[in-house]
Amino acid sequence: MPLYEIETEYHIIITWADDEESAKNVVRENYPREAIIRIAKRPRNSWVISKAGLGIVGKTDPCHIARECLARAAGDKIHAIRLYMQETGADLERARKVIESNMIMGW
């Protein structure tokens, strides 16, 4: 079964689907208010994100504060970044890196 990468305004969804229409249905069912911006069939059955490409270096243990912010934001990355900034006083760039690295680690 092919792996699809689907980008909406607020999410990047990685899912297995039989075909492109089935992949679009995953978004319609789970994020009905979000328009699909881009969809791509991945060439392999794995998807890898380079931490260096995101600017994340060094040890990347899960951050309990970031995970709590993600939970309170129901997975909405932008909202979680704002919450993290409020909780810790971190600047926007640091908050983005922390939230994104925790999302990568399987929040």
Longest Cα–Cα distance in the chain: 45
Q: Output the six-digit token pair for 107.
A: 């929040």
Q: By three-state DSSP, how is residue 41 classified?
A: strand
pLDDT digits (tens, 9 = 90+) for 24-73: 999 999 989 999 999 999 877 676 666 666 666 666 555 788 888 999 99
Q: Do 20 and 41 touch, CB atoms closer than 8 A?
A: yes
Strand partners, 6: 13, 39
Distance CA 90, CA 74 (A): 21
Given a contact cutoff of 8 angstroms between Cβ atoms, the answer to whether 101 and 51 are in contact is: yes
The predicted-structure confidence for 66-104, as pLDDT tens digits, reads as follows 888 999 998 789 999 999 999 999 999 999 988 988 887
Q: What is the pTM of this model?
A: 0.48
Domain ranges for the chain, please list them: 3-41, 52-104
**What pLDDT score was predicted for residue 58?**
65
